[in-house]
A and B are shown apart, each in its own frame.
Chain A
Amino acid sequence: MATTTSTAARRAAPSRRSTARRPGGERLQPAFLWMVLPAFVLFFVFHTVPVLQGIFYSFTDSPGYGEWNWVGLSNYVALLSDARIGSAYLFTLQFAFVTTILVNALALGLAVGLNGKIKFKNTLRGVYFIPNILAILVVGYVFNYLFSSSIPAIARALGAEGRLSTSILADPQLAWIGIVILAVWQATAFNIIIYLAGLQTVPGELYEAASLDGAGRWRQFRSITFPLIAGFFTINMVLSLKSFLQVFDHIVAMTNGGPGTATESVGLVIYRGGFQGGEYGYQIANAVIFMIVIIVFAIVQLRVLQRNEVSPS
Chain B
Amino acid sequence: MSATSITVPTSRQGGLGPDGPDLPGRPSRRRRPRDESDEGGRINWWLTVLLMVLALTIVVPLYFTVVTALKTPDQLGGSGFGLPTEVRLQNFADAWTLTNFPRTALNSALITVGAVVLTLLTNSMVAYAIARNMHRRLFKVLFYYFVSALFVPFPILMLPVAKQTAALGLDNQLGLVLLYVVYGLSFNVFIFVAYIHSIPRELEEAAVVDGASTWTVFWRIIFPLLAPMNATVGILTCLWAWNDFLLPLVIVSDPAGATLPLVQYVFQSQFSANYTVAFASYLMAMAPLLLVYVFAQRWVISGVTRGAIK
Contact = CB atoms under 8 A, between A and B. Distances in A.
A32 B159 contact: no
Interface residues of A, number: 113
Contact of A287 (B11, B81, B130, B156): B156
B20 interface: yes
Contacts of A290: 153, 155-156
Main secondary structure of the interface of B (DSSP, over half): helix
Given A128-B55, A134-B243, A290-B156, A193 B308 contact: yes
B70 interface: no
Contacts of B268: 141
B159 A280 contact: yes
B54 A118 contact: no
A128 to B, nearest CB: 7
B51 A50 contact: no
Interface string B109-130: 0000000000000110110111
Contacts of A83: none
A15 B152 CA distance: 41
Interface residues of B, number: 122
A108 to B, nearest CB: 14
A242 B151 contact: yes
Given A31-B214, A204-B10, A118 B48 contact: yes
B278 A16 contact: no
B139 interface: yes
Contacts, number: 320
Contacts of B162: 275
Given A51-B152, A110-B51, A135-B242, A24 B135 contact: yes
B298 to A, nearest CB: 6
Interface in A18-47: 19-20, 23-24, 28-29, 31-33, 35-36, 38-40, 42-43, 45-47
Contacts of A114: 51
A205 interface: yes
A208 B6 contact: yes
Given A31-B214, A117-B44, 13 more contacts: A9-B200, A19-B201, A36-B130, A43-B145, A113-B50, A117-B42, A133-B289, A134-B290, A197-B309, A204-B9, A208-B14, A212-B7, A291-B152
Top 10 A-B residue pairs of the complex, sorted by shortest distance between their CB atoms: A204-B10, A200-B24, A31-B214, A135-B243, A50-B160, A50-B157, A23-B135, A35-B129, A287-B156, A197-B308
7 contacts: A35-B125, A42-B181, A117-B44, A141-B264, A143-B61, A274-B158, A287-B159
